[in-house]
Amino acid sequence: MPRLTINGQEVEVPQGTLLIEACARVTEKPPHFCYHPGLRPDGNCRMCMVKIEGMRGVSISCTLPAAEGMVVSTEHPEVLAARRGVMEFLLIHHPLDCPVCDKAGECILQDHSYDHGRGASRYIEPKIVRPKRDLGPRIALWPERCIRCSRCTRFLDEVTGTSELAFFERGDRTDLDIFPGRPIDNPLSLNIVDICPVGALISKDFLFRARVWNLRKKASVCAACSRGCNVVLESYEGKLTRLVPRPNPHVNHHWMCDHGRLSHAYVHDPRRPRQIVKREDARSFNVALPEALEAIRAGLEAVRAAHGAAAVGGLVTAWLTNEELHLAGRLLRDVLGARRLVALAAPPGEAYVAKSGFRIAADRNPNRAGLEAVLGLVPDDEAVRALAADIETGAIRALLVLGGMPAPAYPEELVAVASRLELLVVQDLVPSALLDRAHIVLPAAAAPEKHGSFINDDGRVQRLEPLLVPPVPGGDLGILGALLRALGDRPPGGGGAVGVFADLAARNERFQGLTFQELGDLGRPRRGAEDRPRPPHAAGE
Amino acid sequence: MSLAFSERARAEIDRLLARYPTRGAATLPVLRVAEREFGGIDDDVMVLVADTLDLSPAQVRGVFSFYTHLRRPGWGKYVLQVCATLSCALRGCEGLADHLEARLGIRAGQTTPDRRFTLLKVECLARCGESPVLQVNDDMYVNVTPAKADAILESLP
Ligand code: SF4
Ligand code: SF4
Ligand code: FES
Ligand code: FES
């Protein structure tokens, strides 16, 4: 554990800590462009310079390990002068088109030129002009803005191992580009847009959609597969506009996949069910929640009176949070004594493991582990078919379908017998043949509208924070709580995510010792799951 | 794309690979082999080299385009590289380049219509002490004045 002095302050850091990180412990991280904590240091931009006593000139802090006895200054006059010089060179060919640049507001070239720049250019020669060009289906390049920091090429070399980008030519003619006909189209490609310190690499999906300072943000998790990458959800004018990864050494490090970023079109799809609908004699009405609840209550009562308590069935999906699953279990098992409670899964997607070890799970059900931990349920097509058979024979007369999913996956067998039901309640995110046959339609909340927790495929319990307002105020948790109340029960812990989680933790040993608050931003392993940060270059060596 | 190395070239590449710690490290010498084999390096050749070395084509192009000593498609029989970096600039390479442009009737970066000469301004050729420096294909000439350049060009077969 080397001890060193930085700006007059003593600090002890773990062996091997880079000087730039050591500096960050006592003061602001030295300004930098090419250094990124998720990539191997390259030391090419020369912005992160510090003065080390006894060493000639200034030294870059991003490649140098902190050493015993070092005396370091981040604000030495030589350092300040050197930074000004670096800034001046970087801006020589820069177009300074911040007003039309997507990165403005989160661009470190912009930030550093406020802090370390000269304000005016002394360069009078012609600037290099290079128009924007396409690099692949999701990314475009504004070459003039590139400062050649190589973060993007290192990402593609180290993390994906695909190396689509390289620098061509050299000196002032250096140009970042793809090989002709070999576009960037790997599953993690959009991470290079995030890590580009300037607005050179641009996501076509986000292009010109919002100025970043107008975005509302919430820390949450991605719901597009069972990995549960930590993300920041960002919205503009009430619309989910961008997802960016949030570092979590236990799950996704600094990255997330393109699928996760781009698979939320359903949230704002105009066909998405947003109204509570009641259907009677082939006519449908929009109704308020109390009227729907009363219809459900009356329908359930009629079925139970005529055919016994066990004539009720339930179907849930892994888009319900642990808290919602807990209430759903209470409703269907404890209150209604349902004959069958089954889980339906979305079909698997493609699994992917990057060179670095970053994983996309084939399992596209974000809270599959929660289904198992909370309700002991494993999605099972056989069980869903058995449910359909029970409906066919009349053993089940009322069915509650809860949670929904972004693409309908109800099996034919179930849809075919739906019209035999005396009461069919369907809550979903998208239209479907089953939804069309429902007596009561309840809009489901999408993941970015949810407050609660999911468990990822490592057994990590992670929080979702609502960025958007769900179609039914209170979301799925609110609907389930109200349903319990309508049936004469009450949701535990007041019915909010925090209280319901506390009840879950008290009753279910897999959640023992956890509180919703203590899940924090990075989540906690559920009881019995392993808690092991993975090194960022696990498989990349 | 049906491009492939000959038996002989493949054997040479295998010998080369044995001398480097990684396949990628052999990029330059393998490009040299490819240049001899195919008479120049175009996109198809770069893809072949990339496949041979387990690199991406972009990585090979990055190395190839960094240098000026590997033949590119369309170059003339003689490639004249005038060093335009500092030491040579201080010793008058600009005049040398201007002279060659006038004599050949082309700008730096261009090839004469008869495909005899390609003229390039390049970065340091590492003979700064004897600048200005002119390289003609693989032969290096130092302390080159316009008159000396004329003599060199006239001596070429
Ligand atoms: S495109 Fe961005 S990340 Fe890539 S080298 Fe240029 S500035 Fe760096
Ligand atoms: S790997 Fe899974 S959780 Fe992570 S961003 Fe992609 S879809 Fe989302
Ligand atoms: S951040 Fe250290 S040299 Fe670029
Ligand atoms: S500067 Fe011309 S050879 Fe070095």
Nearest to A171 among B55, B57, B123 (CB): B123
φ, ψ for residue A305 (rounded to 5)?
Answer: -65, -40
Nearest C-alpha of chain B: how many angstroms from A153?
Answer: 10
Residue A469 in 3-state DSSP? coil
Q: Is 70 exceeded by the pLDDT of residue A537?
A: no
Running DSSP on this structure, what letter comes out for residue A365?
-
DSSP string for residues in A168-197: ES-GGG-EEEEPTT-----TTTTHHHHH-S
Residue A169 to residue B66, Cβ atoms within 8 A: yes
Q: What is the pLDDT of residue A119?
A: 77
Centroid of chain to Cα A56: 46
3-class DSSP assignment, residue A405? coil
**DSSP secondary structure, A60-76, as one string:** ESSSSBP-TT-EEESS-
Q: Is the dihedral of CA A320, A324, A326, A330 positive or negative?
A: negative
Mean per-residue pLDDT over chain A, rounded:
95
The helix/strand/coil state of A288 is coil
Which domains are present in chain B?
Answer: 7-66 (1.10.10), 78-155 (3.40.30.10)
3 state SS for chain B: CCCCCCHHHHHHHHHHHCCCCCCHHHHHHHHHHHHHHHCCCCHHHHHHHHHHHCCCHHHHHHHHHHCCCCCCCCCCCEEEEEECCHHHHHCCHHHHHHHHHHHHCCCCCCECCCCCEEEEEECCCCCHHHCCCEEECCEEECCCCHHHHHHHHHHCC
Q: A427 C-alpha to center of ligand 2: Å?
A: 24
Give the model's pLDDT for residue B9. Answer: 97
ipTM for the predicted complex comes to 0.90
Across the interface, do B56 and A164 touch by the CB < 8 Å criterion?
yes
Closest-CA residue in chain A for B47?
A: A179
Q: Does residue A150 line the site of ligand 1, with CB under 6 A?
A: yes
Q: What value does the mean pLDDT take over residues B67-93?
A: 93
CB contact under 8 A, A163 and B58: yes
pLDDT of res. B152: 97
A185 contact B CB<8A: no
Peptide bond into A131 cis (omega under 30): no
Cross-chain Cβ contact B56/A179 below 8 Å: yes
C-alpha pair distances (Å), A467 with each of A234, A433, B47: 7, 30, 47
Band the pLDDT of A541: cuts 50, 70, 90: very low
Residue ranges around ligand 3 (CB below 6 Å)? A 32-35, 43-48, 60, 62
SS3 A52: strand
Instruction: Return the pLDDT at A371.
Output: 97
Instruction: Pick B58's closest partner by Cβ from A165, A170, A171.
Output: A165
Q: What are the C-alpha distances in Å from B131 to residues A92, A435, B142? A: 29, 82, 6
**DSSP conformational letter for A248:** B
A173 and B66 in contact (C-beta within 8 Å)? no
Find out whether the beta carbon of A464 lies less than 6 Å from any atom of ligand 1.
Answer: no
Distance A382 CA to ligand 1 centre (A): 51
Q: For residue B117, what pLDDT band results from cuts at 50, 70 and 90? A: very high
**Pair of tokens at residue A215:** 């975005």
Query: Could you tell me the pLDDT band of residue A535, with boundaries at 50, 70 and 90?
Result: low
Averaged pLDDT for residues A65-82 = 96
B133 lines ligand 4 (CB under 6 A): yes
Is the predicted pLDDT of residue A539 greater than 60, yes or no? no
Residue matched to tokens 């316009």? B146
Most informative mutation of A46, A152, A155, A167 for ligand 1 (most atoms within 8 A of CB): A152
Q: Give chain B's mean pLDDT.
A: 95
Q: Give me the mean pLDDT over the A108-119 stretch.
A: 86
Q: State pLDDT tens for residues A378-424.
A: 999 999 999 999 999 999 999 999 999 999 899 999 999 999 999 99
Element (H, E) at A279: strand A277-280
Its sign, for the CA torsion A460, A465, A467, A470, is positive
> Buried b / exposed e across A360-392, counting CB within 10 Å, b at 16+?
bbebbbbbbbbbbbbbebebeeebbeebbebbe
Q: For residue A8, give the 3-state DSSP assignment.
A: coil
Contact residues, A window 502-541, toward B, CB-based 8 Å cutoff: none
pLDDT digits 0-9 by tens, A301-354: 999 999 998 899 999 999 999 999 999 999 999 999 999 999 999 999 999 999
CB burial of B93-126 (b: ≥16 within 10 Å; e: otherwise) equals beebbebbbeebebebebbeeeeebbbbbbbebe
Inter-chain residue contact A178 with B58, CB threshold 8 Å: yes
Would you state the structure tokens that stand for residue A161, as one six-digit string?
């191992």
Q: Whose CA is nearest to atom 4 of ligand 1?
A: A152
- Cβ–Cβ below 8 Å for A182 and B56: yes
Region A162-170 average pLDDT = 96
Residue nearest to atom 2 of ligand 1 (CA): A196
Query: Residue A103, class by beta-carbon neighbours within 10 Å (0-12 exposed, 13-18 middle, 19+ buried)?
Result: buried
